[in-house]
Amino acid sequence: MLAALGEVIATDRSSLDLADGAAIRRAVREARPELIVNAAAYTAVDRAESEQELAMQVNAVAPGLLAEEAKRLGALLVHYSTDYVFDGEKRTPYTEEDRPNPVSHYAHSKLEGERSIAAAGCRHLILRVSWVYGPRASNFYQAIARKAAAGEAMRMVDDQTSVPTPSSFVAEYTVAMLRKEASGLLHLVPSGSATRYEFAREVVAVTQSRSRVEPAATAEFPAPARRPVYSALDNRTAAALLGARLPHWKSVLGAVLLR
């Protein structure tokens, strides 16, 4: 989708290691872009508890270096952050004005990434997203879809709430934001919210699967890292900028399932 805005120079982990600061600076200086989109991150939430230095390097130091290079070039930096920067103590959707309070090292490293970008003083657009999923790569949607296709029973956590967000939604609305010349910090998620149990039930219903979905408590699945029990993001600022209400998570799920 970014190709609609101009020539795209893409890198992957094999061609650019975000733990290598010199490589980051070299790649940006060779490309001399007008727009930098950082869609990479250390996302292994539990492993980040034991790989804290690496998580901080990729999620905090690397974005700061990109921001410094963007500042030098006068480029715009687009960076993705997470709903996990909040502690989950609130019970209404978090706005951009709410104070972050991360409860895991992964979340802490993502918040430090936001701060390092702001401190660099470059033109930037930080988009917080949540529970990103898609038909490719490994994510919770893939696990649910496989079980639904096989008609297998599943137990899904019913005491964590956020906003399921397709990667295709993030890509589409990132371009929309850029066309509106958005900047600063925005929450970019569909409307509504759900638990993972509710999300799984919707996948089963839409696909007309025979799978039985039963609710479970987070405590039944011990993990090294804490997750916020409530981290739904308020998308009204983004909607106002775009001039239209953002679609509900159920409708964008349907679009993913039909692909």
Residue 74: is its pLDDT beyond 80? yes
Q: For residue 13, which phi and psi values (nearest 5 degrees)?
A: -60, -30
Residue 214: is its pLDDT beyond 70? yes
Taking residues 123-149, report their average pLDDT: 92
Q: At residue 66, what is the residue type?
A: L
Residue 259: is its pLDDT beyond 70? no
Of residues 6 and 218, more confidently modeled: 218
d(CA 183, CA 80): 13
- State the SS3 of 212-231: CEEEECHHHCCCCCCCCCEC
Chain-centroid distance, C-alpha 164: 10
Per-residue confidence (pLDDT) for residue 15, from 0 to 100: 87
Q: Among residues 168, 139, 137, 162, which one has the least CA distance to residue 256?
A: 168
d(CA 127, CA 184): 8
Residue 258: is its pLDDT beyond 70? no
Q: What are the angstrom distances between the C-alpha of 29 and each of 10, 39, 101, 113?
A: 14, 19, 35, 21
What would the two tokens of residue 200 be? 């799984």
**Would you place residue 62 in the very low, low, confident or very high pLDDT band (cuts 50, 70, 90)?**
very high
Q: What is the pLDDT of residues 33-56, one digit of tens each?
A: 999 999 999 999 999 999 999 999
Q: Radius of gyration of the chain from Cα atoms?
A: 18
Q: Among residues 151, 166, 181, 187, which one has the least CA distance to residue 35?
A: 181
Taking residues 63-77, report their average pLDDT: 98
Q: Where do the domains of the chain lie?
A: 2-197+219-257
Write down the pTM of the prediction.
0.96
- Of the candidates 80, 94, 106, 141, the residue annotated as catalytic is 106
The CATH number of 2-197+219-257 is which of 2.60.40.2220, 3.40.50.720, 3.40.366.10, 3.40.1180.10? Answer: 3.40.50.720
Q: 131: phi > 0 → left, psi -120 to 50 → alpha, else beta; which?
A: left
Query: Kindly report the CA angle at 74 between 71 and 77, in degrees rounded to 5?
Result: 65
Q: What is the pLDDT of residues 177-200, one digit of tens each?
A: 999 999 999 999 999 999 999 999
User: What one-character DSSP code corresponds to residue 58?
Assistant: I
What would the two tokens of residue 134 be? 């898609």
For the question of residue 84 being annotated catalytic, the response is: no
**Would you place residue 12 in the very low, low, confident or very high pLDDT band (cuts 50, 70, 90)?**
confident
d(CA 55, CA 68): 19
